[in-house]
Amino acid sequence: MSEAATLPRDGTGFGGNAWKAIQLVIYYYEGRLWGFGLMKAIKNIKLLTTEGIQENQAVVYDQTIRAVLPEKHLPSGCTVIDGGGAYLSSGFIDLHIHGCAGYDTMDEDDQALKVIANRLVTSGVTAFLPTTMTMDRARIERALDRIAAAMTGEPGQGARVLGCNLEGPFLSRRKKGAHDERYMAPPDLDWLQPYLGVIRVLTVAPELDGAADFIRQLVAAGVVVALGHTAATYEEASEAITAGASLVTHLFNAMPPLHHRQPGVVGAAFLHKVTCEVIADNIHVVPVVQQLLTKIKPVEQLVLVTDAMRACLLADGTYDLGGLSVQVKEGQARREDGTLAGSTLVMNEALRNFYRNTGLPLAEVVKMATLNPARILRIAHRKGSIAPGKDGDLVLWDGDFNVLMTVVAGKTVYTSRAWD
Question: For residues 168 and 199, is the Cβ–Cβ distance under 8 A?
Answer: no
Radius of gyration of the chain (CA): 22
Encode burial over 95-112: b for 16+ CB neighbours within 10 A, e otherwise. bbbbbbbbbbbbbeeeeb
Q: How far is CA 217 from CA 210, 221, 234, 395, in A?
A: 11, 6, 22, 37
CA distance 90 to 371: 8
Task: State the amino acid at position 260 in one-letter form.
Answer: H
**Region class of 64: left (phi > 0), else alpha (psi between -120 and 50), else beta:** beta
Question: For residues 310 and 317, is the Cβ–Cβ distance under 8 A?
Answer: no
Is residue 307 classed exposed, middle or buried when 0-12, 13-18 and 19+ CB atoms within 10 A define those classes?
buried
307 is catalytic: yes
Encode burial over 25-53: b for 16+ CB neighbours within 10 A, e otherwise. eebbeebeeeeeeebbbbbbbbbbbeeeb
CA distance 40 to 386: 14
Active-site residue, from 307, 316, 393, 398: 307
Report the catalytic residues.
307
